[in-house]
Amino acid sequence: MPPRLFFLGLALLAGGVLPATAQTASPATVLTLPKVLQAARDNIDVSLARRALAGAAADIVSADRSPIPVLSAKTASIDLDNGVGTGNALLHKRIDKGVGLDWTLERGNKRTLRTQAAQRNEQAARLDLAETQLQQQVFAAAAFFELMAAQERIVQVTALERSAAELTAAAQRRLRAGDLSQQDTLRTEIESRRAEADLRAAQTERQRTLLALTQLTGLRGDLRVEATWPAIDPVPADAPDIEQRPDVRAARERVQAAQAALDNAAALRKNDVTVGASIDHFPGTSRRLIELRLQMPLGGVGGAYGFEGEVARAQAALAQSQDQVEKVRRAAEAETNRLLEDLRNASARSTDFETHIVPRARRVAAMAELAYTQGALTLTDLIEARRTLRAVLLDELSARADHARAHTAWQLRQTATTP
């Protein structure tokens, strides 16, 4: 191929194929709070809780069954001195052969008790799943609002950076015209550099929050939040009852499971009975012989072991589960009060910024801009007014994010349901 045609082909490829590829780039994925909460309900931590629930359900199947019958076969009365004779081994040789079946009959209601313990543990695992889903949704909602705040922070810092760059350009023009000192011009350049650094920090913060949200939800790609901040509703006066929380209910279910396990351990003292029967075939004596068997362990009889260890272990497990209920109750009460206090403080702070602080800061900054243009304010005072407005706007954004997290966490905790 001539070199000119080869390079012409490369030019056509670069001019035709590459732009088409760039045009087909995947658009950003729009995130809403319901979408994030739904993704958090199915993340890897929730999946692990579901696996634990499946295992607990399988334990019910294992517990709710009787002992399996035992099939046995035997050969006996084999005469090693005189031999067993000739002929077929099964029909004619003088060997006592038998086939039997044995059943263990449980006493003390053991099957019902261990099934009750497994059912209680399964219900506790179901409540653990509900609690895990709730916690993951709270974490994901916090990351969602962090990303939302990071996006708005970039918008605000970009505007401030652009304003600082414009002020620097104007200062340089005034410096060349002899209307501004070198010192004041350098101050504007410093402010412009600081604004650029703040913008890079805001972009880095967005990437960090995006990674956190990705880990919690499993969502991938270029994610962007499109939502509004939650309205500031009246804050409840008192915390609700904690007894219906999934974690508290799960702890109570485990107490019932431990009680059933203790009853089952005590039932071990009622010895099980094994009954069996077999049919024997002994050529030369009889072809149909029957054997009946009855077996019973002598636990606790005559000073024998009476399952004291199993009972003591079950008693300790019951006491431990009761202590755990109290621990979970205290933690739940502390968390509920903390959520309520966070919501109160965040609501008051966000309201204060929205109705008082931000309007005053904007008015002061506007007055400073006007005074500076009329020569009634120094450049230093103008820069200070802009710094104050920037700090107030970023603090207001943090207050909104804090309120959104506290509001959503409170709502999720109050509407938690069992799966």
Domain spans in the chain, listed from the N-terminal domain onward:
28-60+120-268+311-414, 66-77+87-105+270-306
Lowest mean pLDDT among 41-55, 98-112, 163-177, 209-223: 163-177
Residues paired with 278 in a beta bridge: 100, 291
Which stretches of 353-376 are DSSP H helices? 358-373
- Residue 87: pLDDT band (50, 70, 90) is low
- DSSP assignment string, 102-113: EEEE--SSHHHH
Place of tokens 């579901």: 50
User: In this model, does residue 21 exceed pLDDT 60?
Assistant: no
Q: Would you state the pLDDT for residue 92?
A: 63
List, for residues 122-153, the tens digit of each pLDDT value. Answer: 999 999 999 999 999 999 999 999 999 999 99
User: In this model, does residue 15 exceed pLDDT 50?
Assistant: no
User: In this model, does residue 57 exceed pLDDT 90?
Assistant: yes
Q: Would you state the pLDDT for residue 91?
A: 63
Length reported for the chain? 419
Q: Would you state the pLDDT for residue 303?
A: 67
Lowest mean pLDDT among 59-68, 275-284, 321-330: 275-284
Lowest mean pLDDT among 70-84, 162-176, 324-338, 379-393: 70-84
User: In this model, does residue 346 exceed pLDDT 70?
Assistant: yes
Residue 351 and residue 234 in contact, taking contact as beta carbons nearer than 8 Å: no
- Residue 174: pLDDT band (50, 70, 90) is confident
Give the burial class of 194: count Cβ atoms within 10 A of its Cβ; 0-12 exposed, 13-18 middle, 19 or more buried.
Answer: middle
Q: Would you state the pLDDT for residue 23?
A: 44
User: In this model, does residue 258 exceed pLDDT 80?
Assistant: yes
- Residue 82: pLDDT band (50, 70, 90) is low
User: In this model, does residue 115 exceed pLDDT 90?
Assistant: yes
* Architecture per CATH, 28-60+120-268+311-414: Up-down Bundle (1.20)
% of the chain residues with pLDDT over 70? 88
* β-strands 223-225, 70-76 pairing: unpaired
Residue 59 and residue 118 in contact, taking contact as beta carbons nearer than 8 Å: yes
